[in-house]
Structures are given as C-alpha cells and as structure tokens.
Structure 1
Amino acid sequence: MFKVEEILQCFENNSLIAAGISIILNISISILGFIPSIFITAANIGFFGFGKGLILSILGEALGAMISFYLYRKGINKVKTKISINNKYLSRLQQTRGKEAFLLIFATRVFPFVPSGLVTLASAGSSVGMLNFSMASTLGKIPALVIEAYSTQQILYWNGQGKVILGISSIIIISILIRKSNSKYSGL
C-alpha cells in the first residue's frame, strides 16, 4: 500500500519530474481500480500546496479514469461477458446512455462511497461513449477532490492530539457500521 511519506520522499528526490510521477501514480491506481487515491492527493497537497496539488490530483484522476475506461472496455469486448454488479446505481448505469448516463456517472463520482473503479468498470460495460464518460467523470470528481484535498490539508496540519481524535472517531464509526452490517445479515 502507498504511504504519504514515501510518495513525498519520491517527489523530493525527483522534484523536476514530481508532477509526472504523481500523474503516473494516479493512472496506475485508476487502472488497478481498488486502491484509494487519497494517498496521492495528500502527497500532492503536501508537496505542491493546496491549489497546485488539487489541480494535479484532478488532472491525474481524470487521465486515470479515461485510460482505465479505455482498457476496461477493450477487456470487456475481448471476453464478451456481461458484468454483474449488485448496486442499483451501477447496474442502472450499465443500461443507460446519453444524458442519463452522463448524470449517473457524474452523481456516482460525486458520491464518495462508490468506488471509482466500479464506476469506471460499469461505464466501460455500458454503451456510454468516451467523451461523455470523460466529461461526467471529471466534472463529478472535482467537488469530491476539493473536499478530499481540503480535508487532507486540514489533517496534515493537525497536531498529534487532533490525529488521535480523528483515529478514535474513525474506529468508532467503522465499528458501528460493521455492527449494523452484521445485524442486517444475521437474520438471513
């Protein structure tokens, strides 16, 4: 897994090409589809500052989504199998086109709990075109990345006590969600 400190060290050791490294990392994470990109966003904000780091994160994620979409679609077309996704929004996305597809992609990019890789995979399995996907994906990612970058910036400047409070709060929230999930499925 990526660590912000390791990415920052890489940027510092290669400051002339740090932006290119950031974009390549974002593209790689997008292609893999299951690794969160927040580590790169944090490194971008820490190394380049808020404004430049945010723009670099948006650019990297946009290019990553487009390249992933292209590769996923090529892979789907090669195997010619139907993708089965158990999420009502993503399943619906596979069956839409045009304006409705644009709005669904935009909405799922803004919504932070839908994994980007699944949105890209569902889009690649649909009839949505590359231009429509790219525009909706990028525009939807902007508000999500602004929030992510701002939150990351605040966390980077917190003292140890603030980070401990965040960690404990996160553990409590995750525990509650796991407990609710287990009680939901225990009656099956």
Structure 2
Amino acid sequence: MDFIELMKELLTLENLLDFLHEYESFGPISGFLLVVLEAFLPFLPLIVIVMANAAAFGLWLGFLISWAGSVFGACVVYYLVQKVKRYHWIQKWLKKEKIRRTMSWVERHGFGPIFLMLCFPFTPSFLINVVAGLSKIKFFQFFLALLAGKMVMIFTISYIGYDLLSFIRAPIKTAVVIFIMLILWFIGKKVELHLQVSGEK
C-alpha cells in the first residue's frame, strides 16, 4: 500500500473526530491546520476533514474554521506559485502554446470560472490555485472568487457533517443529498471540461 492510499485509509471521519477530541486543548487550531495542510497535499480528503470540524466544533464554528483554513492555505499556495513562476524554466514552460492559451483564457474570464470551480467539492482546488498563481490574475480578484466559492462549498459540506446522524437515520434525506452531490460533481466536471476545451481553442 502506497503512502497516499495509507493516508486516505487513516483519515476517516471517525479517526479525525478522535484526533480532534484528543487535541481539544488546542481548540480550533488543530482543525484549522488540517484544512491548511490539505491545500498543499490535495490527496487528503477535504470533505471528511470539513465534516469532522463541523461535527467536533458545531456547524458555525466548524464552518468558519474550515473556511478560514481553506482560504489561508489557498492564498499561501497562490503566493508561493507567484514567487516560483519568476524562474526562467517556469517562464519558458508558460510560453508553450497550449499553456499560454489556457492562461490567456483564465485571465480574460477571471472571477467567474474560478468562483464556479471552487463551489464544487469534487474539482481540484489545488490545481485551480496553481493556475491562478501562474496567471496574471490580480490577487484581489482571485481572493474574492476564493472567498465566495469556498464559502458555498464548505458550508454545504459542514451542514452535512454537523447533522450527519439525521442523514444516516433518514434514507430519503440521505438520497437527496447524494443526488445533489452527484449533480454538483457532474456540473463541476462539465465546467472543468469546458475550461479545458476553451483553453485549447
């Protein structure tokens, strides 16, 4: 079993709740740091981490912890990519035709596609942060899209995590949520595909 699969197996909702309770003396810091860590290690299960925060700290505090951690982590990734892209080999890579067209498309459309992509829990937010950092999008524009998109996505997951038992006990409620999540996944994939096609064109 490789490292990524091992981490996914260990970071279950039950294990994360045990971890948060074990380190409850640190308050919300442990939950915040888990979400920040996910910004750098995208294979970590963000959905499970957000649900654990909501279950451990309550709906609103858990949501705020996850939202703040996710936004902070994304901003750090954006900042680091902005610094790294100054290197000659990165600039050379960005001049490739396909990459240049994709960046140009993202820069022209700015807020809209970044906001939409970040609304959906199944889109690769790490990749979005990197693309935004490599592009010429202003930080303020990226930050607004990040705040709004992450707020929608994380509140939805937090709500489910906070009231998880009711979803388990009510099959219809669970089915509706699964259906909505599937729709969000489908829309997210469509938006992602549209961005890829538009970038190539």
- Fold-level similarity (TM above 0.5): yes
Give the Cα separation in 1 of the matches to 2:86 and 2:16: 35
Do 1:41 and 1:54's aligned partners in 2 also have CA atoms closer than 8 Å?
Answer: yes
Percent identity between the aligned chains?
22
| Matching residue of 1:8 | 17
Question: 1:138-177 counterparts in 2 under 5 A?
Answer: 138-159=147-168, 162=171
Q: CA deviation at 1:107?
A: 1.7
| Matching residue of 1:41 | 50
| Matching residue of 2:82 | 73
Q: CA deviation at 1:161?
A: 8.2
TM-score, length-normalised on structure 2? 0.68
Secondary structure at the aligned position of 1:128 is classed as coil
Deviations 1:16-61 (A, max 9, x none): 3131111111111101234331121111111101111111111111
Code of the residue aligned with 1:37 in structure 2: it is L
Do 1:65 and 1:134's aligned partners in 2 also have CA atoms closer than 8 Å?
Answer: no
Give the Cα separation in 1 of the matches to 2:22 and 2:43: 27
| Matching residue of 2:133 | 124
Code of the residue aligned with 1:8 in structure 2: it is L
Q: How many residue pairs were aligned?
A: 162
Secondary structure at the aligned position of 2:135 is classed as coil
Give the Cα separation in 1 of the matches to 2:154 and 2:16: 18
Q: CA RMSD in A?
A: 3.0
| Matching residue of 1:97 | 107
TM-score, length-normalised on structure 1? 0.72
Code of the residue aligned with 1:155 in structure 2: it is L
Q: CA deviation at 1:83?
A: 9.1
- Structure 2 vs 1, CA of residues 119 and 154 (structure 1 numbering), >3 Å: closer, same or farther? same
Is 1:82 aligned to residue 91 of structure 2? Answer: no
Do 2:116 and 2:149's aligned partners in 1 also have CA atoms closer than 8 Å?
Answer: yes
- Structure 2 vs 1, CA of residues 137 and 117 (structure 1 numbering), >3 Å: closer, same or farther? same
Do 1:31 and 1:67's aligned partners in 2 also have CA atoms closer than 8 Å?
Answer: no
| Matching residue of 2:31 | 22
**Unpaired segments ≥5 residues, structure 1:** 178-188
**Unpaired segments ≥5 residues, structure 2:** 1-7, 187-201
Code of the residue aligned with 2:107 in structure 1: it is R
| Matching residue of 1:56 | 65
Q: CA deviation at 1:160?
A: 6.8
Code of the residue aligned with 2:158 in structure 1: it is A
- Structure 2 vs 1, CA of residues 111 and 47 (structure 1 numbering), >3 Å: closer, same or farther? closer
Code of the residue aligned with 1:97 in structure 2: it is E
Q: CA deviation at 1:12?
A: 1.3
Give the Cα separation in 2 of the matches to 1:18 and 1:83: 46
Q: CA deviation at 1:155?
A: 3.1
